Amino acid sequence: MISSIVFIILFSAGAVWFAINVRKVRRNILLGKEIDRKDNPAQRLKIMTLVALGQKKMFERPIPAILHLFLYVAFVITQIELIEIVTDGAVGSHRMFRPYLGGFYTFIVSFIEILSVLAFIGTIAFLSRRNLLKVPRLVKSELNGWPKLDANFILLGELTLICFIFMMNGADEMLYNNGWSHAEEAKGTFGLAISSHLGPMLFGGLSEPSLHIIERIGWWGHIAMVLGFLNYLPYSKHFHILLAFPNVYFSNLLAKGKFTNLESVTNEVKLMFDANAVVPPSDGTPMRFGAKDVTDLSWKQLLDAYTCTECGRCTSACPANITGKLLSPRKIMMDTRDRLMEVGKNMDANKGEFKDDGKSLLGDYITAEELWACTSCNACVQECPVNIDPLSIIIDMRRFMVMEQSAAPTELNMMFTNIENNGAPWQFSQSDRLNWKNE
């Protein structure tokens, strides 16, 4: 009874804290400007199924894709066992579903154990790729400090969780085999695929009290790791586990390379060509051209930032980065998320209101050199496994620099002047541009 009360308190506290943090993330994302992504629901569901659920784009690089698949499938299927653990913890039972499912229960838990072994292999491989093999895209400068610690921390947490699972199942296997199980109806051979061998190897010859202690450590350790991981997600890049699905669903369905036009500019052009054109009324509030800070971006761009997995596929495919330029699309997304979280903390400290801190995304986080290095080739958009669009943020920040600060590179300023004076990018008047055909 005391155990159930402790479990319910712990579980409820973890769930409430997670809900509070999710609410803050949602608030931060909705600081962005409105954008309509409700069209073509059937197509969006298809893309979400293929890209987010099926991980279609991951398999362009087979080895990491297979390793990631081990962790992904193990994470999803293990939730079945988690349902039983939560039920047992709440009502004080033990292996509640086993008497009702019989051999099928053994099959399910055995399957989960096999997946856990594969996940263990995948986790070791990912730790090695980051820390021993030092895969180039995983050791870029933007990953120094917390991002590297975050990645290693979560991988070590995965290993710890798997160890708790096998402590619980292995000790339980020995308890069942010796007739010492917690549950009276659960006598005889358990027969799990991995623990039936691992249990005797690790825990054979231990006394009943020792086995009960090991099993309880495994059980409580398992649930504590799950709740800890759940509440760590909002602070980690691994929040993509939850956000990948909505992020892919709200993907940009327009052809790559098709940029959006600013409504205010479009309206002015319409009036220039037709004084009688119907233009929607304005509320009188000046509209910023492009983006200087995160609140100038759309909610989808901010959702992109929170969904970034920091895998670096975008940066490894970026021609500017490959040729030694300062630009890293991954850093653009990480900087956007960092600034957005900073704004959120500012609001938390000021009762929901943002107090000007004298900072902005442009300048304090992302430099003009990074932005102008972009060739707008869309390689980063194509490579992202969860359909993040770093280019849209780059273009919006460029717009701000050009249209509000007149801070374009010299070459572009020359082109702008030529267009204004000559009606073309070249330094020739309109009357002289076709002289070449008379020679």
| pLDDT tier, 357 (very low <50, low <70, confident <90, very high otherwise) | very high
Phi, psi of 254 (to 5 degrees): -70, 160
Average pLDDT of 163-180?
88
Closest by CA to 158, choosing from 193, 206, 126, 136, is 126
Prediction pTM value: 0.89
Question: Which two structure tokens, joined as six digits, stand for 229?
Answer: 């991981």
Residue at 212: amino acid letter:
H
pLDDT of residue 123 exceeding 70: yes
pLDDT tens profile 16-45:
999 999 999 999 999 999 999 999 999 999
Average pLDDT of 110-116?
93
Percent of the chain with pLDDT over 70: 93
pLDDT of residue 189 exceeding 60: no
Residue at 314: amino acid letter:
C
Structure confidence at residue 96 (pLDDT)? 83
pLDDT of residue 433 exceeding 70: no
Residue at 231: amino acid letter:
N
Structure confidence at residue 2 (pLDDT)? 85
Q: Rounded to the nearest 5 degrees, what angle is found at the Cα of 39, between the Cα atoms of 38 and 42?
A: 105
| pLDDT tier, 103 (very low <50, low <70, confident <90, very high otherwise) | confident
Structure confidence at residue 412 (pLDDT)? 85
Is the CATH number 1.10.1060 carried by domain 263-422?
Answer: yes
Query: How many residues are listed for the chain in this entry?
Result: 439
Structure confidence at residue 33 (pLDDT)? 93
Average pLDDT of 72-87?
87
Structure confidence at residue 32 (pLDDT)? 95
What does the domain layout of the chain look like in residue ranges? 2-30+61-249, 263-422
pLDDT of residue 154 exceeding 60: yes
Question: Which two structure tokens, joined as six digits, stand for 153?
Answer: 């921390």
pLDDT tens profile 297-355:
999 999 999 999 999 999 999 999 999 999 999 999 999 999 999 999 999 999 889 99
| pLDDT tier, 100 (very low <50, low <70, confident <90, very high otherwise) | confident
Average pLDDT of 397-424?
86
Structure confidence at residue 182 (pLDDT)? 66
Question: Which two structure tokens, joined as six digits, stand for 239?
Answer: 């929040």
Mean pLDDT (the chain) is 89
| pLDDT tier, 429 (very low <50, low <70, confident <90, very high otherwise) | low
Structure confidence at residue 286 (pLDDT)? 64
Give the SS3 label for residue 366.
strand
Structure confidence at residue 15 (pLDDT)? 93
Structure confidence at residue 432 (pLDDT)? 67
Instruction: Spell out the residues 6+ positions from residue 66 whose beta carbon is closer than 8 angstroms to its own.
Output: none
pLDDT of residue 430 exceeding 60: yes
Lowest-pLDDT range, 155-164, 244-253, 257-266, 297-306? 257-266
Percent of the chain with pLDDT over 90: 61
| pLDDT tier, 116 (very low <50, low <70, confident <90, very high otherwise) | very high
CA separation for the pair 208, 198 (Å, rounded): 17
Closest by CA to 95, choosing from 172, 165, 170, is 172
